[in-house]
Amino acid sequence: MDPHEQAENTALHGYNPGLPNRRIGRYQSLRFTESRKLRIERNLPETLIIDFMAVWDAEVAVDYRRFRFRIKEIARQTLVSVEHAQIVSDHALRALALAGKVPPEALVVFVDDDDWLAPHLFARLREFVSVGAGVDGFRWGSVRLGRPGYTLDADANFALCPTVTLRQIDQRTLYTNGYAVNGTALRRLGVDALCEHFDANAQYDAGRFAPATVAEYLSCANKHPAHTMAARALLGSEEYRHDLRADIRRWAESVMAVPLPVDLAWMAAPRDMLAALLADAARY
């Protein structure tokens, strides 16, 4: 999630399956107080997004709020396409969990408002349910769109070429949007212990959360040019600040140039929509 404005956690879950979605930002209205509060909670500079918006809006054809709103809409289309799933607000999920109304066999996937999910996500996970009896859920491969990583050097980050990265599935890391929690684990550990991937990782490392591994890529983290991590990692580069539109074009060209494997054909439509948005943003 990003936002400069109030964020709202969301969950997507289904009949037997469950798919939770972490946050949906309201990008049509801006709340500076909420932005500062969020940055402080995440140990980021207090005015990071506000400062980034000022640079973005001075250079880019699609203003930051509108860009993020369209990013959210692209992601939303992938969420509503997930078979046997329902989007549930964070508030509603917590209320259901508190009341003990999340079925033990339900699966919950936490996502941010720019994440993409495969339409067959739950269908595939359900094929492994009998094999994964006794586990706390599932983990799978997550695709990353954008720069493969960041350092503390903004100029070095700027020099990195955005691409499509298939993160290793067999490493002991849970990525955002890359794991599902069943109702039994949710009841035992609570929403707060599993909603954020870094907290879920802590539970995983401590042996308290034990998901089975599905060796397929079923979700995508979209680290687009207006992502919070991009703001933090790139804003210190003068070359980057000098021409954001050039970097947006480079981002689109690099990411679109990577052929998608057959099993990632589900990413083609949202990637095309993203490319169209980037073209709008980069125009002079």
Q: Which helix (H) or strand (E) holds 138?
A: strand 137-146
What is the structure's pLDDT at 19?
A: 46
Tens of pLDDT, residue by residue, the chain (284 residues): 333 333 334 455 543 334 444 443 333 333 333 444 454 455 667 788 889 999 999 999 999 999 999 999 999 999 999 998 888 878 888 899 989 899 988 999 998 889 999 999 999 998 887 655 678 999 999 999 999 989 989 999 999 999 999 998 877 889 889 999 999 999 999 999 999 999 999 999 999 999 999 999 999 999 999 998 888 899 999 999 999 999 999 999 999 999 999 999 999 999 999 999 999 999 97
pLDDT value of residue 31: 39
Q: 3-state class of 103 per DSSP?
A: coil
pTM: 0.85
The pLDDT score that the predictor gives to residue 17 is 37
**Residue-level pLDDT at 155:** 95
The C-alpha atoms of residue 99 and residue 187 are separated, in whole angstroms, by: 10
| The dihedral sign for the CA sequence 52, 54, 59, 64 | positive
Backbone angles phi, psi at 220, to 5 degrees: -140, 130
pLDDT at residue 65, rounded to an integer: 94
d(CA 211, CA 230): 30
CA gap 176, 109 in Å, rounded: 9
* Domain boundaries along the sequence of the chain: 7-282
φ, ψ of residue 163 to 5 degrees: the values are -160, -170
pLDDT at 46: 75
